[in-house]
Amino acid sequence: MIEARLLKSLVISEEVVEELFNLHFADLCRFLGYYSRDIQLVEDCLQDVFIKLWEDRAKINIFHVKTYLYRAARNRILNALRNSKTRQNHEELWFTEEMDKAYAREVVDYEQFSLLYDEAVLSLPDRCRLIFQNCKDNKKTYKQVADELNLSIKTVENQMSIAYKKITSHIVGRYQNVYSKPLILLFIAFLESCCFLNG
């Protein structure tokens, strides 16, 4: 039997892996079918298991081949399902945010939006405005601004956080007919594209 041969051998040969594959593949497919009905995913996971077995052949100790294969297959498909769910969640979030941004662009006059942005920046306290404009308009790092103004990086971070909150609040407060989330996303996109019309 293959299990007995495997226990006696320190090296797992191609023939042994191929024989294990032929012997257990169908049963493993049925087993993984309890976790997913996606046949392609099941087969990909099993292929990964056998590839891993081959790649790690010199360093793994297998006492019960069947137990090893079933455990490895289960772990592989659970990881794949977890990653797939995470990826799906990210894609759904990205899609929702893009739709929100598109909605905000449709209902917001971009020129008026940029004027509100300028107005919000000008309304910041002097030191906060100076720090914000240095970081954003002049595209300097927090460290550069901290060194130039003889401040700690923490102070710059705090002032930037205050600036973002005040500017966002100023802009969102002017658009009563638009949900705040799309506006905030549009504001972030505006800052990223900058589009800093005065810089």
> 39-65 in b/e burial notation, b at 16+ Cβ within 10 A?
eebbeebbebbbeebeeebeeeebeeb
| Domain locations along the chain | 2-90, 108-193
Other CB atoms within 10 Å distance of the CB of residue 160:
18
In order along its 199 residues, the chain shows pLDDT tens digits of 454 444 444 356 778 778 888 888 888 988 888 888 888 888 889 999 988 888 887 777 777 788 888 889 999 988 888 887 777 777 777 777 777 667 666 666 777 777 888 888 999 999 999 999 988 878 888 889 999 999 998 999 999 989 988 888 887 777 665 556 666 666 666 665 543 333 3
Among 1.10.10.10, 1.10.3720.10, 3.30.70.1450, 3.20.20.80, name the CATH number for the domain at 108-193: 1.10.10.10
CATH topology of domain 2-90: Rna Polymerase Sigma Factor; Chain: A (1.10.1740)
pTM of the model: 0.45
pLDDT score for 59: 77
d(CA 168, CA 183): 8
d(CA 113, CA 70): 59
**The pair of three-digit structure tokens given for residue 63, joined into one six-digit string:** 């006492």
